[in-house]
Chain A
Amino acid sequence: MSILVENLTKSYGDAKAVDNISFEVHSGEILGFLGPNGAGKTTSMRVITCYLSPTAGTVKVEGHDVLTESLEVRKLVGYLPEQNPLYFDMNVIDYLEYSAQLQGVFPSRIPARLKEMVDVCGLGEMKHKDIGQLSKGYKQRVGLAAALIHDPRVLILDEPTSGLDPNQIVEIRSLIQNIGKQKTVVLSTHILPEVQATCNRVIIINRGKIVADGPIADLQRNLHGGEKILLEVEIPDEQSFEMIAVQVRNIPSISTVSLVSEQNGVKRFTVETASSIDIRKELFQLCVQKRWNLLELHREQTSLEDIFRELTSDVIPR
């Protein structure tokens, strides 16, 4: 267990930013922390990184409690805060060296670590420039390099790709995926494709509570419980939609069949099942048996956007 969060609550005055959440992250996992603005993502991450203390509950990183063994936790964690704060008047290599020193990297190992981070994050040409002069993408890389400088076992990234252009986003993502192979990565974002591209597990948090937790594929399946299949067939003889629907419904576990469009004998309709059973095979065989020309058959996935909207659309306080 790399990160263990048990019944964590964090209140600011009367307002609960995080309300009794529990989850665990295993090493080698890239966890996406998803939620609308103000849902409690940053607060949870700040508790894990020892910036804030929990109001109630326990948080452990690699077995060390954030309250009683805070220094140990901070040695193990690499953290890139939201907005990526940096010392603009320092140059890149000095800043990375300062980070390494404060992280307690052994002095004789620092030059090697600096070189490796400069290579990994592609900072070669920029290493003697002042951070304030760098473009946003390079600043982000500097932040990431500083978070990785002590080869941490746990990496916490708060919106690592915000404000980057599409090319930079792809670069940073592939960097995170590479890193995530050996380490535990928790990254927060409200950009949904990012989660799909990088994470193998998602936690959706809304108003301080976890509303979904699991691999993306599971979430997509579980939300409605059933599957939705789009079918387009060309039916030569004049048959009404109702007659076809009756025939389709003969396949077990189908709940609804509805017509989408009809043109020159080409009928397009959606078939929904009650449970998550794959009925594409049966549908294909039905078409063969009835001698319908099958033009298109595909499973429609509930997009992450739909899941997100469904789970967090009560954002406006009642």
Chain B
Amino acid sequence: MNFNNIKYIFLKELRSFFNSPVAYIVIVVFLVILGWFFTSNLFIANISTLRTVFEMTPFLLLFFAPAITMRLISEEKKSGTLELLITKPVKESEIITGKFLAAWALYFFTLLPTFCYYITVSFIGTLDIGPVIGGYLGLLFVGAVFLAVSVFGSSITENQVVAFIVSFLVVFGLFMLDKVLFYLPTSLATYLEYLSVDYHFSNIARGVIDSRDLIYYVSAVGFSLMLGTAVLQKRRWS
């Protein structure tokens, strides 16, 4: 892996997010929806907590992750620029990684303003810092998994709509897995539970940082990016 190549691709993609309306629409819409859920509940419940942020964000990400990433590779395929990219001395894995990191960075910038909820709540009540750090860390990990899966979704087609729907279905499956487990026999459920994004997130969001959860997130991201790389490599043998 050549880290310079990853850096160049990352910067180019990040710049193109912010040069187009994409970044601003994503950030504004995300914050409006999240802000509405957060404030409408805060004073009724009268609990100084950021739980709404941590519960709503994975749900919103189901839509935002495929939306952010859907054009990343499919558009390069459609316009033919992928041919330019691949005939440069750049590895497929570097292309996928650079693009994934750019999407993750955009997600980070989207999440950044929600930190003012923390400031607000800590002014009007006492807020336990542990779950907040854990929650944000968990959100970053959940986002990484959803975005990596969606980058893979974008790599399999040259149609952005198809990319969005495929990514959404996979991400939705990973999200819903632990919510349908009680329909399944317990022996199977324990394994499937481990695949669920939300199950690992709820651990971290409680402030417990367990190596099993970290391994899950890292391997899920790595596996998705490897699949995306394999899709790009397969083209050479078509």
Taking beta carbons and an 8 Å cutoff, which residues of A are in contact with B?
Answer: 12, 46, 49-53, 71-72, 74-75, 77, 79, 81-83, 85-90, 94, 98-99, 101-104, 146
Contacts and interface: CB of A to CB of B under 8 A. Distances in A.
Contacts of B86: 50-51
Contacts of B9: 102
B81 A87 contact: yes
B173 interface: no
Given A71-B89, A102-B90, A83 B80 contact: yes
Contact of B8 (A79, A86, A98): A98
B89 A102 contact: yes
Given A85-B79, A102-B90, A52 B238 contact: yes
Contacts of B91: 71
A81 B80 contact: yes
Interface in B45-98: 79-81, 83-91
Contact of B87 (A50, A53, A104): A50
B19 interface: yes
A53 B232 CA distance: 13
B237 A86 contact: no
Interface string B9-20: 100100110011
A152 to B, nearest CB: 11
B5 interface: yes
Interface in B88-143: 88-91
Given A81-B87, A83-B80, A102-B89, 15 more contacts: A46-B83, A50-B87, A52-B236, A52-B238, A74-B88, A74-B89, A74-B90, A79-B84, A81-B83, A85-B81, A89-B20, A90-B19, A98-B12, A99-B88, A146-B84
Contacts of A86: 79, 81
Contact of B88 (A46, A88, A103): A103
Interface of B: 4-5, 8-9, 12, 15-16, 19-20, 79-81, 83-91, 235-238
B16 A51 contact: no
In the A-B complex, list the 6 residue pairs whose CB atoms are closest, starting with the nearest: A85-B80, A74-B89, A101-B8, A53-B236, A49-B87, A85-B81
A81 B85 CA distance: 11
Nearest to B12: A98
B82 to A, nearest CB: 8
B4 A79 contact: no
Nearest to A84: B80
A51 B87 contact: yes
Contacts of B12: 90, 98
Given A51-B236, A52-B238, A98-B8, A79 B16 contact: no
A12 B238 CA distance: 6
A316 B80 CA distance: 29
A103 B80 contact: no
A46 B86 CA distance: 11
Mostly, the B contact residues are helix
B7 to A, nearest CB: 9
B84 A85 contact: yes
Contact of A89 (B19, B87, B236): B19
A101 B12 CA distance: 11
Contact of A51 (B19, B83, B89, B90): B83
Contacts of A88: 79
Given A53-B236, A85-B81, A102 B87 contact: no
Contact of B84 (A75, A81, A104): A81
Contacts of A94: 15
Identify which of B16, B83, B91 gathers the most chain A CB atoms within 10 Å of its CB.
B83
A245 to B, nearest CB: 60
A305 B235 CA distance: 36
17 contacts: A12-B238, A46-B83, A51-B236, A53-B236, A74-B88, A75-B89, A77-B87, A82-B80, A85-B81, A85-B83, A86-B79, A87-B79, A89-B19, A89-B20, A102-B90, A103-B89, A146-B84
Contacts of B79: 85-88
Contacts of A51: 83, 86-87, 236
B83 A102 contact: no
A86 B79 CA distance: 8
B88 A102 contact: yes
Contacts of B238: 12, 52
B75 to A, nearest CB: 9
B173 to A, nearest CB: 32
Nearest to B83: A81
Given A52-B236, A98-B8, A104 B89 contact: yes
Nearest to B86: A51
A88 B20 CA distance: 11
A85 to B, nearest CB: 3
Nearest to B91: A71
Contacts of B90: 74, 102
A155 to B, nearest CB: 12
